[in-house]
Amino acid sequence: MNGHKGEYVKSFDGTELYFVKNIPEDIKGIVIVVHGFAEHLGRYEYVTKRLNNRGYGVYRFDNRGHGKTKGEKGHIEKFEYFLLDTDTIVKIAKEENPSIPIYMLGHSMGGLIAATYGTEYRDKLNGQILSGAAIAKSHQVKGIKGCIFEALNKISPRTRIKNPIADTLCKNQDVVENYLSDPLNLKDATLNFYVEFLIKGVKLLDKNIDLYRYPCLILHGSDDKIVPKKSSESFFRRIRSIDKRIIIYEGLYHEILNEKTKDNIIDDICNWLDNQNSTNSKLNN
C-alpha cells in the first residue's frame, strides 16, 4: 500500500482541501470517502485498510470547515460548496485512475453530500454507498424550530453552537471516548453551518431526488439515535435507481462502520463493489 502522505489541492474558490490516497497494487476500483459532520478523514483508517485489502483504492479528504483542510473551522458559507469540493477530489481520482470504476462512500452528513452530489453530477461515478446518511430533516430543525434557526441565522450567522453528538454515536464506548478526545473533531460550529447542512442541504436533495439514478447500497443501524433509519428507508423508496439495495443492521447505532461487527458491514460493502464491477465488465464485453 502506498500514498499515506497527505496532500493539498485547491478547490473552486482557492480553499485548500487536505486529502490522502491509499492505492493497493492490483486495483479493482476507487472509493472516495466523504466523512460526516464534525469528524475528519483519519477516522476511516480501518475502513481504508480493509478496502485496500480487497483491491480498492481509497481517496479521503477533510470536508470544508473540518480537519486539516484550510479555512475557518466549523463554518461553511453554502452547502453547495461541499459538492464542488467533492467534485474536485472526484476529478483527481478520475485523472489518476483512467478506465477504473469510481465509487463514493458517504457517512452521515457525508451521505447527504454524496446523495446530493448524485443528483447534480449524474455521470461521474459507478455507484454510491450511503452509511447512516443524514438525508432527512432532523428533529432539531423541524417545523417552527427550523424557521427560528433561519431567522436567527440572518441576524448572527457566526454564532457558535456546541456539537450535540454524544454517547449515542456508537455502541462501542471506546469509539465514543476516542471521538470526544480527538482534537481534530469539531467541538462546535456556526449557526450558518447548521442551517446550510440541516435545512438547506436537505431541501436541495429533496427538491432534486427524482434525478438520482446511481446504483447504490444504503446502510443504516436500526437503533441509530442521531439519524433515524426511516430517512434511509424513505430515500430507498423514492429514488429511481434501477439497481438499489438497503440493509438495516439490527441493534446498531449511528457509526455502523465503527461498531464491533464492522467487519461484517465492510464485507457487505466489498461484496457489493465486487458485484458492481462484475456487472460493469459484463456490460462492457
Q: How far apart are CA 257 and CA 144, in angstroms?
A: 34
Write down the pTM of the prediction: 0.94
**CA geometry: angle 254, 86, 33, nearest 5 deg:** 40
With CA atoms as reference, report the closest residue to 106 among 136, 125, 78, 132: 132
Which pLDDT does position 3 carry in this prediction?
Answer: 44
Domain positions in the chain: 7-284
Q: Specify the amino acid at residue 254.
A: H
Sheet containing 102-107: which strands, arranged edge to edge? 7-10, 16-22, 56-61, 29-34, 102-107, 127-131, 216-221, 244-249
Would you call 214 helix, strand, or coil by DSSP? Answer: coil
Check if the beta carbon of residue 29 is closer than 8 Å to that of residue 102: yes
Residue ranges of E strands in 214-270:
216-221, 244-249
Kindly compute the dihedral angle of the four CA atoms of residues 252, 272, 82, 168, in this order, to the nearest 10 degrees.
0
Cα 215 to Cα 240: distance, rounded to the nearest angstrom: 10
How high is the pLDDT of residue 149?
66
Q: Whole-angstrom Cα distance, residue 41 to residue 89?
A: 13
Q: Do 59 and 106 contact (CB within 8 A), yes or no?
A: no
Per-residue model confidence as pLDDT tens for the chain (285 residues): 444 579 999 999 999 999 999 999 999 999 999 999 999 999 999 999 999 999 999 999 999 999 999 999 999 999 999 999 999 999 999 999 999 999 999 999 999 999 999 999 999 999 999 999 999 866 554 544 555 666 676 777 778 888 877 678 999 999 999 999 999 999 999 989 988 999 899 999 999 999 999 999 999 999 999 999 999 999 999 999 999 999 999 999 999 999 999 999 999 999 999 999 988 765 554
- 31 close to 104: Cβ distance less than 8 angstroms: yes
**Given the C-alpha cell 459532520, which residue does it identify?**
37
* Topology, domain 7-284: Rossmann fold (3.40.50)
Per-residue three-class SS string for 16-83: EEEEEEEECCCCCEEEEEECCCCCCHHHHHHHHHHHHHCCEEEEEECCCCCCCCCCCCCCCCCCHHHH
Measured in Å, how far apart are the chain's first and last C-alpha atoms?
Answer: 30
Distance CA 200, CA 177 (A): 31
Distance CA 231, CA 235 (A): 6
How far is C-alpha 137 from the chain's CA centre?
16
